[in-house]
């Protein structure tokens, strides 16, 4: 047999083997490498709605076993089932139609920008009197904050009748920024040739530049009658953590309405951009580089068990917003400004089975973050994260199994874009039952008594969680409810520092006693000193709306001569606040006190008024001059506790309009009215708003 015949047979055998391989691959779906580039056929199939996507590890064909990615919820068919339920998608669309048809907006609907659109909650008496399954919902109304041709409007919108009623507009300031303009302002400087030239002079490629819009506060008449913002930029070359690579000293002043660059300040020409090495925070990136010096110090962690109890989750979610657990019942919803709102929190009396009122409404009212650097590129950084950026608008979808355990229940947020159209923020809030290994109550008897008792009960709690990623910082907000009736609010801070670039790579380069306004953290990086003041508004309704604020002062009492071998003891003196001024509290370490919210019309079996003790978690106090412009706007941090008469319109500690406000409409200005809280001889019977930092 000649060589040509052998070669021909070999070719036929190879072709046959290839054909068999193709048949087997089609029949048994042999796996493809996940990283193998897919052909246009697979991309086209994915685009056509097939279950196979370009990231699928299996061949693409009809009947493929790969589960399709679930579509995000539309919420288009949602209907309100509770008086406090947030606006639904259809209600937002209805409000948009009404607003766009309302004069003068109807003349140019495209010039109408919606900054907020939320439920106009019914009066408290109406909500308290409503019975699920018996009474119809109260009329649904919305409150809209809009801007039209440079002018701001606050409007009440009747969703059924279509009536639009104007509401008072603050004397100064502008509404919360929309997400649309926050995103667009990041790119505004790139349209300016002078800015691009400045970036090139710094040796940074424009394609590597990431910019942030930074609220500029208020510092005088030159910043009035015009919505302004300052933009600062970073180099994202070589890392996802661009916050660690500031282009220091470069600040761009931008007109928010026109996107025009008004002024460029560049005072950091001699400051290098910090290196990208060791700055990437992504876990996967560090694991890829394991063994490399860049991964040193990054520890592997074992994920905790997130399995629910054998009996299943104990959290019941009714009609999308009512949570029931362990004797608690509460209403929970997402809010564009506050983030998460807890309402109608009631706890079951174990003796009677009846639910007793505790908290009518609780939420984060403002987050004040002043940085302590007076230099040109930093002095204005005195953020009001809720009123300027929207704490809820910045909330990102929670990560299952990491942010929340396996058995968590999730709630979405439905918010409004600048054009008035609704959009959904998925998995914004999670609710779950938690056991962290803590002890709720225990007691053991010693052998002295002869009773062998070891009584211990685990602490199992209900947690409602939300996380807001406000640029570099992530605020982890937990409302925790315990079976003994206790409510605990926790704020965790994670994410990344906002740092300042410096020419120093070691402290020995700094002058003696030089004020760097922070700490040298790494080569060319300073962590600037700053504060985070989180202010909560708590509308307490302990066993009803008739509540009083009681301060219990604890002081040393000297004994009388011959009274006792003791010379002193601690004495508690109770004082009921008669005015708002008396209810302003500044915590002092050596003047301890307790703070009670009581209902004097409801008594325990031994005659004491029922109530709750409010315990501030810390002694955060501002050290800024009261006349400093940022402190005027943040004057609600002058005290740790404020108590004011209930007023539905006074919810935001920094005022309704915070952006570029002068600080006339804040919690501090309301409390200067010296309004009486005292109505009876001893206890005040008054609805109260309780603000606690």
Q: Tokens standing for 96?
A: 């948009």
CB-based contact 158:144 (threshold 8 Å): no
Give the list of residues 6+ apart from residue 613 with CB closer than 8 angstroms, or none: 594, 595, 596
Distance CA 216, CA 225 (A): 14
Distance CA 509, CA 504 (A): 6
CB atoms near residue 693 (< 10 Å): 26
Q: E strand or H helix at 233, and its extent?
A: strand 228-235
Q: E strand or H helix at 201, and its extent?
A: helix 193-201
Q: Pairing between strand 688-692 and 533-540? A: antiparallel
DSSP character at residue 208: G
DSSP character at residue 553: E
CA neighbor of 663 nearest in space, from 470, 390, 257, 382: 382
| Partner residues linked to 463 by β-bridges | 432, 480
CB-based contact 371:529 (threshold 8 Å): yes
CA neighbor of 126 nearest in space, from 117, 134, 115, 135: 135
Q: Tokens standing for 256?
A: 């928010």
Residue pointed to by tokens 């950026």? 389
Q: Pairing between strand 322-325 and 473-482? A: unpaired
Handedness of CA 616, 619, 625, 629 (dihedral sign): negative
CB atoms near residue 102 (< 10 Å): 20
Give the burial class of 257: count Cβ atoms within 10 A of its Cβ; 0-12 exposed, 13-18 middle, 19 or more buried.
middle
Give the list of residues 6+ apart from residue 14 with CB closer than 8 angstroms, or none: none
Q: Tokens standing for 169?
A: 């507009």
CB-based contact 319:326 (threshold 8 Å): no
Q: Give the max Cα distance, the chain.
A: 130
> Cα-flanking dihedrals φ and ψ of residue 112, to 5°?
-95, 125
Active-site amino acid positions: 385, 473
| Long-range residue pairs from 58-61, CB within 8 A, at least 24 positions apart, any chain | 58/29, 58/31, 58/32, 59/25, 59/26, 59/29, 59/30, 59/32, 61/26, 61/29
CB-based contact 297:286 (threshold 8 Å): no
In three-state secondary structure terms, 539 is strand
């Amino acid at each position: 047999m000649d060589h040509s015949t052998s070669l021909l047979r070999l070719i036929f055998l190879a072709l046959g083997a290839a054909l068999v391989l193709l048949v087997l691959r089609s029949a048994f779906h042999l796996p493809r490498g996940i990283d193998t580039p897919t052909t246009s056929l697979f991309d086209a199939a994915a685009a056509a709605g097939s279950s196979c996507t370009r990231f699928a590890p299996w061949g693409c064909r009809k009947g493929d076993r790969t589960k399709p990615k679930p579509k995000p919820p539309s919420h288009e068919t949602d209907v309100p089932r509770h008086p406090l339920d947030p606006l639904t998608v259809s209600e937002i669309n209805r409000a948009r139609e009404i607003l766009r048809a309302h004069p003068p907006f109807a003349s140019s609907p495209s010039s109408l920008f919606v900054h907020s659109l939320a439920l106009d909650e019914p009066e408290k008496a109406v909500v308290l009197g409503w019975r699920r399954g018996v009474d119809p919902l109260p009329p649904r109304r919305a409150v809209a904050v809009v801007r039209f041709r440079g002018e701001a409007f606050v409007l009440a919108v009747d969703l059924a009748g279509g009536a639009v009623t104007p509401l008072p507009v603050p004397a100064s300031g502008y509404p919360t920024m929309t997400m649309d303009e926050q995103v667009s302002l990041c790119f505004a400087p790139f349209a300016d040739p002078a800015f691009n030239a400045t970036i090139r002079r710094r040796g940074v490629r424009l394609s590597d530049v990431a910019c942030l819009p930074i609220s500029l506060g208020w510092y005088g008449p030159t910043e009035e009658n015009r919505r302004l913002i300052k933009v600062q930029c970073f180099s994202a070359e070589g890392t996802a953590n661009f916050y660690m690579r500031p282009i220091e000293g470069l600040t761009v002043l931008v007109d928010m309405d026109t996107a025009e660059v008004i002024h460029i300040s560049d005072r950091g020409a001699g400051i290098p951009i910090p290196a990208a090495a060791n700055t990437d925070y992504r876990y996967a990136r560090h694991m890829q580089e394991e063994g490399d010096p860049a991964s040193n110090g990054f520890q592997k962690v074992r994920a905790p068990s997130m399995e629910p109890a054998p009996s299943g989750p104990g959290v019941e979610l009714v009609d999308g917003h009512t949570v029931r657990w362990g004797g608690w019942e509460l209403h929970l919803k997402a809010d564009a400004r506050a983030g998460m709102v807890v309402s109608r929190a009631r706890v079951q009396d174990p003796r009677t089975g009846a639910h007793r009122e505790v908290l009518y409404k609780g939420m984060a009212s403002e987050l004040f973050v002043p940085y302590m650097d007076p230099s040109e590129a930093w002095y204005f950084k005195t953020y009001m994260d809720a009123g300027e950026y929207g704490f809820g608008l910045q909330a990102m979808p929670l990560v299952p199994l990491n942010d929340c355990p396996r058995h968590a229940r999730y709630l979405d947020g439905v918010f409004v874009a600048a054009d008035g159209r609704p959009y959904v923020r998925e998995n914004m809030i999670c609710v779950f039952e938690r056991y962290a290994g803590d002890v709720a109550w225990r007691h053991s008897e010693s052998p002295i008594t002869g009773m062998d008792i070891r009584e211990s009960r685990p602490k199992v709690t209900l947690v409602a969680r939300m996380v807001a990623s406000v640029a570099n910082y992530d605020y982890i907000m937990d409302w925790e409810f315990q079976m003994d009736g206790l409510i605990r609010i926790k704020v965790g801070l994670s994410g990344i520092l906002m740092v300042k670039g410096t020419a120093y790579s070691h402290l020995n380069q700094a002058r003696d006693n030089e004020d760097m306004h922070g700490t040298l953290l790494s080569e060319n990086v300073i962590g600037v000193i700053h504060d985070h003041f989180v202010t909560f508004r708590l509308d307490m309704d302990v066993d009803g709306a008739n509540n009083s604020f009681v301060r219990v002062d604890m002081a040393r009492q000297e004994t009388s001569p011959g009274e006792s071998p003791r010379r002193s003891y601690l004495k508690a003196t109770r004082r009921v606040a008669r005015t708002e001024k008396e209810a302003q509290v500044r915590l002092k370490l050596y003047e301890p006190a307790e703070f009670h919210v009581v209902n004097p019309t409801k008594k325990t079996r031994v005659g004491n008024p029922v109530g709750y003790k409010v315990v501030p978690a810390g002694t955060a106090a501002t050290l800024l001059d009261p006349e400093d412009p940022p402190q005027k706007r943040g004057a609600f941090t002058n005290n740790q506790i404020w108590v004011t008469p209930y007023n539905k319109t006074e919810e935001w500690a920094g005022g309704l309009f915070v952006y570029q406000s002068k600080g006339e409409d804040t919690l501090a200005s309301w409390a200067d009215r010296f309004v009486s809280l005292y109505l009876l001889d001893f206890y005040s019977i008054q609805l109260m708003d309780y603000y606690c930092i």
